[in-house]
């Protein structure tokens, strides 16, 4: 019989692989590397079993697997042979000796698409950073997860699993679970004055997917996109990834300026705005500008994306109606999210599109990932329908306002003369304006070393030149965390830049 020096069984079985698998792997490796030539006869299973001190069935199993995968050929009564059909020139690729060993990867830069090159360039850093999931003061967009009524949510989820499981466990509707779409329509009609039929509503995997779908469906490389300057970075990244030409439009005390978009002589395919509470400046777009923007879009055929990301958190006065409410030309795509009002891990948001875009968004969404998980959608539908959502929002509004006031008070007490924070009537963050001579980017970097997360206002700017400021998210942190965060920042500021 042929010598089989490659057959070294792992007695201690460190690899965790069953014995038959080890035998199979050893033969396979030997065949692929050419150690066992085509036509070589394998030892009889009984003989090999004795030699290896294993049960004969173990060897038989390994041989069957080799046969099934085409590594060997069996001639009835004549034994098992290495397959003759294996192309010789392929057998030189040495496979790794062990299953656990990681194949070497080519060092060359991989060939990727233009989209991917843009994404890697504009987003590589961001994505890596976002994978650091620490929730530290004053990271923006965090919610008070400890205050979420998980008890209620769990009960509703369990009820959905029990009652609806066989009915909804299959594939669902692309645009979303119908009862949730209806609940969302009612909610946004009441709270945001959104006017739409249920058919216009898509349930998405958070606002991010809504923005991505919008960019894919409405933009080609080279199209002009007007965005606010400063701008929400995630939205900017999505539009940049399409290869569109990004045209920053200044934001002043009245919000996005549609006249700037009209007077420079060139049109745009799409405009991205956050009219309720401009991100990150917090400015509310005035009615006059809203009307002018809508009229401009109607005249030029441009699309308007209204990102209504945190309009639910208004602490004083009534929330302003959405821009979508004023749109009678079918130009506005309304983006909402439940990441800030339920919890981020849920990954549910919504997109409301004009009538004549329903079909194409349905097609694009089904291509992207069919639909959002149905049980989560059903649980959220119940949560809204039974009034828990409204109750939670009320509670969070009060809590977040309190946290905001606490942050302002702490900053007044501890950071006076260094950072100026002013109360705001809505939102989840404040801008801390720095005293002359302080550099926000440098401070943010130093603060990060001490376990604080502060973004410089400049990181949201494209062409805009704004005074030095830092973004303080406050909603995700209790008074103790805020106090400690402010104290840490004080040390950073006092240690000099």
Min separation Cβ 310 and a second copy, Å: 15
Site string for a second copy, 266-285 (x = CB under 8 A): ---x----------------
The Cα-based distances of 427 to 148, 187, 283, 316, 338 in angstroms read: 18, 19, 10, 11, 15
Q: Omega of the bond prior to 62 within 30 degrees of 0, cis?
A: no
Min separation Cβ 188 and a second copy, Å: 12
**Strand pairing report for 224-229 and 270-273:** parallel
Candidates 12, 128, 465, 480; binder of a second copy (CB under 8 A) is 128
In the bound state with a second copy, the residue whose beta carbon lies nearer, of 328 and 402, is 328
Phi, psi for 98 (deg, rounded to 5): -125, 155
Binding to a second copy (CB under 8 A) within 17-36 occurs at: 32
Instruction: Give the up-direction half-sphere exposure of residue 26: CA atoms within 13 A in the CB hemisphere.
Output: 20
Min separation Cβ 102 and a second copy, Å: 6
| The one segment of 1-9, 322-330, 413-421, 450-458 that binds a second copy by CB under 8 A | 322-330
Min separation Cβ 441 and a second copy, Å: 23
Q: Omega of the bond prior to 138 within 30 degrees of 0, cis?
A: yes
Binding to a second copy (CB under 8 A) within 62-101 occurs at: 64-65, 68-71, 83, 85-87, 89-90, 93-96, 99, 101
Binding to a second copy (CB under 8 A) within 404-463 occurs at: none
Element (H, E) at 363: helix 358-369
Closest by CA to 342, choosing from 242, 207, 432, 228, is 207
Rg (CA), the chain: 30
In the bound state with a second copy, the residue whose beta carbon lies nearer, of 237 and 424, is 237
Binding to a second copy (CB under 8 A) within 130-189 occurs at: 130-131, 133, 135, 142-143, 145-146, 148, 150, 153-154, 157-158, 161-162, 165-166, 168-175, 189
Binding to a second copy (CB under 8 A) within 464-493 occurs at: 476
In the bound state with a second copy, the residue whose beta carbon lies nearer, of 306 and 376, is 376
In the bound state with a second copy, the residue whose beta carbon lies nearer, of 404 and 426, is 426
Candidates 317, 417, 436, 437; binder of a second copy (CB under 8 A) is 317
Min separation Cβ 99 and a second copy, Å: 6
Count of residues near a second copy by CB under 8 A:
135
Candidates 11, 14, 77, 110; binder of a second copy (CB under 8 A) is 110
Residue 338, Cα to own-chain centre: how many angstroms? 13
Q: Is 399 in the site for a second copy (CB under 8 A)?
A: no
Min separation Cβ 494 and a second copy, Å: 31
Tokens 């009245």 map to which residue?
Answer: 254
CA distance 354 to 328: 10
In the bound state with a second copy, the residue whose beta carbon lies nearer, of 284 and 404, is 284
Candidates 22, 80, 140, 208; binder of a second copy (CB under 8 A) is 208
In the bound state with a second copy, the residue whose beta carbon lies nearer, of 39 and 70, is 70
| The one segment of 3-11, 218-226, 439-447, 477-485 that binds a second copy by CB under 8 A | 218-226
In the bound state with a second copy, the residue whose beta carbon lies nearer, of 297 and 443, is 297
Question: Quick check: 415 and 490 in contact, CB under 8 A?
Answer: yes
CA distance 347 to 359: 23
In the bound state with a second copy, the residue whose beta carbon lies nearer, of 363 and 487, is 363
Element (H, E) at 225: strand 224-229
The Cα-based distances of 452 to 127, 447, 479 in angstroms read: 19, 5, 15
CA distance 75 to 281: 78
Binding to a second copy (CB under 8 A) within 286-315 occurs at: 286-288, 291-292, 294-295, 301, 303
In the bound state with a second copy, the residue whose beta carbon lies nearer, of 9 and 32, is 32
Q: Is 253 in the site for a second copy (CB under 8 A)?
A: no
Binding to a second copy (CB under 8 A) within 362-381 occurs at: 362-364, 366-376
Tokens 């000796």 map to which residue?
Answer: 97
Q: Is 47 in the site for a second copy (CB under 8 A)?
A: no
CA distance 275 to 277: 6
Q: Which residues touch 275 (CB under 8 Å, ≥6 apart)?
A: 255, 256, 284, 285, 290, 306, 308, 320, 322, 323
CA distance 362 to 120: 28
Question: Quick check: 28 and 71 in contact, CB under 8 A?
Answer: yes
Candidates 75, 76, 109, 496; binder of a second copy (CB under 8 A) is 109
């Amino acid at each position: 019989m042929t010598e089989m020096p490659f057959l070294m069984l792992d007695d201690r079985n460190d690899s965790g692989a069953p014995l038959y698998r080890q035998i199979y792997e050893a033969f396979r490796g030997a065949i692929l590397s050419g150690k066992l030539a085509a036509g070589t006869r394998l030892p009889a299973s009984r003989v090999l079993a004795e030699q290896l001190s294993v049960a004969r069935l173990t060897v038989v199993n390994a041989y069957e697997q080799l046969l099934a995968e085409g590594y060997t050929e069996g001639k009835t009564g004549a034994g098992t042979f290495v397959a003759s059909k294996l192309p010789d020139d392929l057998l030189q690729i040495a496979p790794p000796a062990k299953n656990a060993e990681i194949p070497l990867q080519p060092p060359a830069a991989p060939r990727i698409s233009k989209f991917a090159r843009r994404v890697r360039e504009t987003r590589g850093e961001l994505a890596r950073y976002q994978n650091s999931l620490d929730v530290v003061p004053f990271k923006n967009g965090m919610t008070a997860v400890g205050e979420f009524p998980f008890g209620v949510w769990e009960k509703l989820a369990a009820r959905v699993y029990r009652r609806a499981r066989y009915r909804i466990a299959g594939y669902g509707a692309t645009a979303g679970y119908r009862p949730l779409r209806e609940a969302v329509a009612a909610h946004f009609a009441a709270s945001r004055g959104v006017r739409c039929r249920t058919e216009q509503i898509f349930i998405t995997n958070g606002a991010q997917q809504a923005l991505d779908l919008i960019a894919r469906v409405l933009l080609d490389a080279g199209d002009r996109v007007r965005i606010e300057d400063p701008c929400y970075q995630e939205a900017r990244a999505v539009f940049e990834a399409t290869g569109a030409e990004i045209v920053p439009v200044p934001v002043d005390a009245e919000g996005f300026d549609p006249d700037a978009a009209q007077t420079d002589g060139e049109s745009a395919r799409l405009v991205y705005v956050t009219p309720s509470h401009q991100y990150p400046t917090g400015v509310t777009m005035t009615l006059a500008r809203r009307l002018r923007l809508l009229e401009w879009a109607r005249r030029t055929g441009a699309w308007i994306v209204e990102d209504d990301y945190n309009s639910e958190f208004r602490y004083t006065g009534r929330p302003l109606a959405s821009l979508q409410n004023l749109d009678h030309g079918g130009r506005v795509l309304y983006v909402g999210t439940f990441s800030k009002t339920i919890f981020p891990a849920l990954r549910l948001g919504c997109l409301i599109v004009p009538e004549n875009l329903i079909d194409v968004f349905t097609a694009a969404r089904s291509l992207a990932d069919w639909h959002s998980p149905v049980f989560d959608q059903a649980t959220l539908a119940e949560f809204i329908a039974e009034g828990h959502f409204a109750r939670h929002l009320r509670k969070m509004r009060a809590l977040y306002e309190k946290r905001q006031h606490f942050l302002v008070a702490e900053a007044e007490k501890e950071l006076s003369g260094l950072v100026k924070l002013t109360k705001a009537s809505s939102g989840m963050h404040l801008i801390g304006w720095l005293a002359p001579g302080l550099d926000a980017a440098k401070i943010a970097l130093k603060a990060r070393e001490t376990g604080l997360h502060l973004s410089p206002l400049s990181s949201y700017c494209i062409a805009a030149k704004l005074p030095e400021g830092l973004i303080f998210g406050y909603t995700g942190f209790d008074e103790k965390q805020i106090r400690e965060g402010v104290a840490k920042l004080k040390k950073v500021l006092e240690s000099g830049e």
